[in-house]
Structure 1
């Protein structure tokens, strides 16, 4: 039962990931995108980034790949693999993994997030889990616990070794306000009493540094440990937008839950060829686990690192440091040829990231708004934006339809602007009194110019 629920839930996460790729790729990595795939393939050797697109790339082929992934994942979520022979079911899961690996390995900056590797590592293990025609291999269920252990324990260690505020329990005084993409409840989370923030932080340390060891304990202790991890992840789901990271962590906790009382019938033993394949691959994965395990013990622990181009075994972690101040890049355009003090600038609206101070943050996770996330990094440092921001501005000046589809509001629906600029603002949540008086969720003050008025040459 745990395997069945895990596989169905993982297929749903796959579906969201492929849907995100299908709806956003043209402006980001398409042939005329900000970071085109063909140029990336010419720069990077095949052994460093294996992908089906090495054989041939076109936007039509990428779209076909992404939408095929959506359909395959939807069918798996509906239980199609359980009605097929074991070998065919494994091939189906393998096809899904290969398709998404091919996308991630050409995704460049837009796919440099830890949850991409996490989905690939979990998806590879799902290939070995079989279907309801055979009993699940215990070794793979233990490998899933090992993966969940690295996700949680790695995240806990990176905090303990990182920002001092994690050790003095003050990080959550800032985190809900400065996180990459706040959610609809983040304002209230930020306004919780500070003693409760201390309790949140201490509970986070306990769950991430202590509870993961209990995943390897006998039942029902392992089930209780998984339950605590799920509860913590649901708290994070309510407090922000982290794509499918939290949901995938919840999915990984499901195989640790003892669902044997719900089993309707016993399953036949696995065929010898299947057992041999599982044991051989498991041995390889355990050998590859040496470097991520060593990374956990290192004083220079790396976050979200892949040690092989197939993303088979990786290291994880997030928020080793927490920003104390939130900055946002606001992109504006004008249809006036000459900019002066009286020029009217109109702001573009993004779907997820803060902009209009009166707009309440929305819930988008587990869907991943890749441009919005990278705009958060751009506000931290222009260096993060250097590879793609000029191309983004150029596409706004050209009125590129694919780029405009990534935005919530285009202030120039009839014709593209003559000039575009970007300003850096400091954002903070309004106080309760300010919220009642103005109805605004944010208060912002200008900091400096991020990009001077720019036009097409």
Structure 2
């Protein structure tokens, strides 16, 4: 069946699958290292409470039938081990049906985590990893050439990622239309990186060029993915360059890297040298399965297409509980100012104006004005990201901020491991409070004079001092 496979994409298939496995590895590691404090049995939003309230049909997951921290850890660490093996080429060392089963296990394990992760797993790149991972199940291995239909579905996904992001911008904040959004974005984005300060201070005409180039790449170039080669390869290359620019300018977990991996699947591998090894034709059962999956994905694409055409386009929405076909987009609105929550504690049993408060340090989000932002992406610091949303509005933190503070007052080890600095290493504080500060990047002159990357000004109290309630006797 010469029509079914595309042998020229053998290298693209390998690079895509190995890269995807690497991203799975990071996702499972982040789950294994952070879950106890976030969604564990004693976490801020415990999985057992969630599954009692949400039926399995709305959030299918292994943990709907049984949950324990030990089982969750086994799934997360087992997923990481399997992802590492797939990144090393295990999928090409086994027969095609076994390879498909291994990819399906990765997808099912991560789906089980995402569907009980609640607000900690509400980001678009979770659905994007699942949708991409589902398609990877059917891309084949070294036993057969990659199916044309699956390669098309990967381009269809990449098109929706880029075009959806472009539409949400051009329909959203006016600054995207007048090309001024990047006057603010590098400073107000959720988690700046080590180069964000420098990107912010680029000349304003260059910021306008960045904006215009973004519109071209997200609104014009995606259409070229469906053009003949080498046009599709050039389009994919432009997307990769744009995503690498975003990688340098901030921390967006694995969003940029999975977009790069998707773009690599559209690159014509024959341009780098052919693969002359003879392969048997695709088995009939495989052809039937791939055709059925293609029909399913196209059918489920109705919701995302309607969303793209809607004037009320939604960002990062799943249309089915399995996250098979989703809609994507980011930064339809860009903040003009940056507020940050600073969490402090004291061992003073009766806080007064002269009380000394000591600040907790977070790994990724801005805190100490003299600390240069660090690079963490593609690793995802879930608490730090949610702290950014909490600063936008207390409503985003209604469910978890109180439990977070309670665990600081208890000196909970799992919660403290999510932080960079615990100012109370010997005993937990008696009181904890939170204050809202307005942050801005310093100027070149301020940096030279003070060595500070940020300037901050107190805005208001975010949460008054609280302490643990006395135990009932």
Secondary structure, counterpart of 1:256 in structure 2 = coil
Q: Deviations over 1:235-269 (max 9, x none)?
A: 00000000000000000001110112423324322
Unmatched 5+ stretches in structure 2: 1-10
Cα deviation, 1:381-435, whole Å, max 9, x if unaligned, reads 0000110000000000000000000000000000000000000000000000000
What residue in structure 2 maps to residue 254 of structure 1? 264
- 1:94 Cα deviation after fit: 0.2
Q: How far apart in 2 are the matches of 1:260 and 1:273?
A: 28
Correspondences of 1:223-238 after superposition (within 5 Å) = 223-238=233-248
Q: Which residue of 1 aligns with 2:82?
A: 72
Indicate the residue corresponding to 2:112 in structure 1.
Answer: 102
Match in the other structure for 2:8: none
Which residue of 2 is the match for residue 6 of structure 1? Answer: 16
Does residue 263 (structure 1) correspond to residue 274 (structure 2)? The answer is: yes
Question: Which residue of 2 is the match for residue 300 of structure 1?
Answer: 312
- 2:173 is aligned to 163
> Hey, what does 1:354 align to over in structure 2?
366
When normalised by structure 2's length, the TM-score is 0.96
Q: Indicate which of 130, 140, 149 corresponds to 1:130.
A: 140
- What SS does the corresponding residue of 1:210 show, helix, strand or coil? helix
Decide which of 47, 67, 71 is 2:57's aligned counterpart. 47
CA contact (8 A) 1:135 1:268 kept: no
Compute the displacement of 1:294 (Å).
1.1
Contact 1:421 1:451 in 2 (8 A): yes
CA displacement 1:150-209 (0-9 Å, x = unmatched): 000000000000000000000000000000000000000000000000000000000000
1:327-365: CA deviation from partner (whole Å, max 9, x where unpaired):
000000000000001000000000000000000000000
The whole-number CA distance in structure 1 between the counterparts of 2:215 and 2:350 is 55
Given the alignment, which residue of 261, 267, 286 partners 2:298? 286
RMSD of the TM alignment (CA)? Answer: 0.5
CA distance in 2, matches of 1:263, 1:408: 49
1:324: which partner in 2?
336
| Contact preservation (8 Å) 1:51, 1:101 | yes
2:226 aligns to what SS in structure 1?
A: coil
The equivalent residue for 2:420 is 408
1:417 aligns with 2:435: no
Q: For residues 67 and 25 of structure 1, what CA distance do their matches in structure 2 show?
A: 12
2-structure distance, mates of 1:418, 1:12: 43
SS for the counterpart of 1:428 is strand
Summarize deviations over 1:33-85 as a string: whole Å, max 9, x none.
00000000001011000000112100000000000000000000000110101
Task: Specify the alignment match of 1:315 in structure 2.
Answer: 327
- Please tell me whether the aligned partners of residues 329 and 424 of structure 1 are also in contact (alpha carbons under 8 angstroms): yes
Q: Measure, in 1, the Cα distance between the counterparts of 2:256 and 2:266.
A: 16
- For the pair 1:454 / 2:466, whether they are aligned, the reply is yes
Residue 399, structure 1, aligned to residue 411, structure 2: yes
In the TM superposition, what whole-angstrom CA distance separates every residue of 1:3-50 from its partner, at most 9, and x where no partner exists?
Answer: 111000000000000000000000000000000000000010110000
Structure 1 counterpart of 2:5: none
Between the aligned partners of 1:406 and 1:417, the Cα distance in structure 2 is 17
Moved more, 128-137 or 434-443: 128-137
Deviations 1:88-108 (A, max 9, x none): 000000000000000000000
1:147 offset after TM fit, Å? 0.1
What is the SS of the residue equivalent to 1:449?
Answer: strand
CA distance in 1, matches of 2:336, 2:161: 25
Higher deviation after alignment, 310-319 or 285-294: 285-294
Structure 1 outlier segments of 4+, above 4 Å? none
Please, which of 406, 426, 434 is the counterpart of residue 446 of structure 2? 434
What residue in structure 2 maps to residue 242 of structure 1? 252
1:221 and 2:202 are equivalent in the alignment: no
For residues 195 and 367 of structure 1, the distance between their equivalents in structure 2, rounded to whole angstroms, comes to 32
Answer whether contact 1:89 1:130 (CA < 8 A) is retained: yes
The residue that corresponds to 2:102 in the other structure is 92
1:418-454 residue CA offsets vs partner (Å, 9 max, x unmatched)? 0000000000000000000000000000000000000
**1:334 maps onto 2:346 in alignment:** yes
- Aligned partner of 2:150 in structure 1 is 140
TM-score by structure 1 length?
A: 1.00
1:203 match: 213
Give the match's secondary structure for 1:451. Answer: strand
Between the aligned partners of 1:190 and 1:135, the Cα distance in structure 2 is 45
Residue-pair matches, total: 457
Matches of 1:290 and 1:147 in 2, distance apart?
A: 13
